[in-house]
Amino acid sequence: MRLNAGAALPPHVKGPAYDRAVQKAGIVHFGIGAFHRAHQAVYTDDAMNAGDRDWGIIGVSLRSGDVAAQLNPQDGLYTVTEKSGVGNSTRLIGSMQHVLVAAQERAHVVAALAAPASQIISFTITEKGYCRTGDGSLDFAQAGAGSVYAYLAEGLAARQAAGGGGLTLLSCDNLAENGRQLEALLGQYLAQHDPALARWVAETCAFPCTMVDRIVPATTAQDRAEIAAALGGITDEGAVVTEPFSQWVIEDAFAGPRPRWQVGGAQFTADVRAFETAKLRMLNGAHSALAYLGLARGADYVHQAIADPALRPLIEALMRDEAAPSLTPAPGQDLNAYADALLARFANPALNHKLSQIAMDGSQKIPQRWLATLAHHQAAGRHCPAILSALAAWIAYVKGDGHKVDDPMAAPLAALWREAGRDGILNALFGAQGLFAQYWVADAADIATLNRALAVSC
């Protein structure tokens, strides 16, 4: 039997304590992937379990109908299973109401954005979903009718025409100052397409920054089989698996009402940067290093790579000697203890987080995860051998020898390898006129270090 509103689940699987049928949809979420379902939707479920009302979520998929097919036949219901060395814990989440497939239901997406009940638009559309050029500005060639910006422009215009109030646009993606980036990029789009709307958005909408953290691997068929057994034979096609840990730090700057996400442990603050930068440079920087170095050494999962005695010291150095010293910690933020906690999370033997998933979209990730740290230390005349080792592994990886490179820049990177060759690739990527020059330019010592590392890998 398939999970739905009438399914009788085992008593240990706790579900919504509120009447789902009467909740209005206060949130429209773009990018209804695994992370949103294991993170923001859980905090929202917690808030409604505590008495908040009308924070149902309408999901919008811009790329495929897969998640709509997973959740809509289940009345939006799905389970979140926390996995760790001490066992699994499964919970039924009720905050998701319906998933729209944007390409087939454009008018419904526009109507959801214009609806009076809608207060928040949130996003987990991956780093590449923001359609940025190499220097972080809007790439209009990518920002076509199917982009998030086109839907936002239509929906916000309909909202303004109907006399609706401004909205809070909440990016939950792993970008530095994600709210500021979203605001700037949408502003560039509207300046070209609808300047009057751009002014309305600037006057009435808010774009708070957030730091989001929960490790959520893509769900596998084995996961679904295990969860069906835990559900007494009921199948959940929208199930997600994750770790017990979850953190959400949110800039308290909303255009209107919001759920009491603090009930589930979210923290509201005036400035998210200390939390966000620590997370991007320490957690995500180490994650990407484990991905490329681990794959090169035949590992498949994070817990295998972090257990590799050849990699563990390098990851420790990346976190403690390179990323942490580049940060200005928030009051009370203990970065050494944070590194300890990250290493323990990475070692979770119950969570098969694929290195190949983390390796995706590296061109969109390395600037905030590695290059920002390199640039920080370069300004003080210091070098970062651990990050440079990881960077060399990424450079070798994007050559694509023997594997597919899943990256929006895969083709230009492969072309760069062909044109520049082994002798020219470092300069083509990280020289004064290189592809990533606006983030960091390698000096002679860096080039020598990268060449030594590359000599080993390709």
Residues that bind ligand CS2 (CB under 6 A): 174, 213-215, 283-284, 287, 357-358, 365
CB of 243 to ligand NAI, least distance (A): 9
**What residue 429 binds from ligand NAI, ligand CS2, none (CB within 5 to 8 A, per partner kind)?**
none
Nearest-angstrom CA–CA distance, 443 and 449: 10
Residue of 74, 73, 66 whose CA lies nearest to 34:
66
The partner in contact with residue 76, picked from ligand CS2, ligand NAI, none with C-beta cut-offs of 5 to 8 angstroms by kind, is none
Alpha-carbon distance 292 to 454, whole Å?
Answer: 13
Does position 62 bind ligand NAI by CB under 6 A?
yes
Residue 295: enclosing H or E segment and its boundaries? helix 285-296
Site for ligand NAI in 115-144 (CB under 6 A): 124-129
Largest CA distance in the chain: 66
Position 33 contacts ligand NAI (CB under 6 A): yes
CB of residue 181 to ligand NAI, shortest distance in Å: 12
Closest CB to ligand NAI among residues 106, 422: 106
The footprint of ligand NAI on this chain (CB under 6 A) covers a number of residues equal to 22
Contacts of 426 (CB under 8 A, 6+ apart): 395, 442, 447, 450, 451, 454
173 binds, among ligand CS2, ligand NAI, none (CB under 5 to 8 A by kind): ligand NAI
287 or 399: whose CB is closer to ligand CS2?
A: 287
174 contacts ligand NAI (rule: CB under 6 A)? yes
Q: Which stretch binds ligand NAI (CB under 6 A): 29-37, 159-167, 231-239, 341-349?
A: 29-37
Q: How far apart are CA 22 and CA 223, in angstroms?
A: 32
**Per-residue b or e along 366-379, where b marks 16 or more CB atoms closer than 10 Å to that residue's CB:** bbbbbbbbbebbbe
CA angle 347, 366, 61 (to 5 degrees): 85
DSSP H or E run through 212: strand 210-213
Of residues 7, 9, 27, 32, which one binds ligand NAI by CB under 6 A? 32
Site string for ligand NAI, 202-231 (x = CB under 6 A): ----------x-xxx---------------
Query: Is 379 within 8 Å of 325 (Cβ atoms)?
Result: no
Does 409 help bind ligand NAI (rule: CB under 6 A)?
Answer: no
Binding piece for ligand NAI, criterion CB under 6 A, among 28-36, 110-118, 410-418, 437-445: 28-36
Dihedral sign computed on CA atoms, order 410, 179, 328, 245: negative
Two structure tokens written together for 203: 């006057």
Report the residue closest to ligand NAI, judged by CB: 33
**Which tokens in the block code for residue 416?**
């760069």
Rg of the chain, C-alpha, whole Å: 22
Q: How far apart are CA 78 and CA 68, in angstroms?
A: 12
Q: Which does 287 bind (CB under 5 to 8 A by kind): ligand NAI, ligand CS2, none?
A: ligand CS2
- Distance between CA atoms of residues 99 and 66, nearest Å: 10
From the list ligand NAI, ligand CS2, none, pick the one residue 376 interacts with, judged by a Cβ distance below 5 to 8 Å according to partner type.
none
Nearer residue to ligand CS2 within complex by CB, 18 or 123: 123
Residue 56's DSSP bridge partners are 25
Among 57-65, 153-161, 289-297, 331-339, which window interacts with ligand NAI (CB under 6 A)?
57-65
Which positions touch ligand NAI (CB under 6 A)?
A: 31-36, 61-63, 124-129, 148, 173-174, 212, 214-216
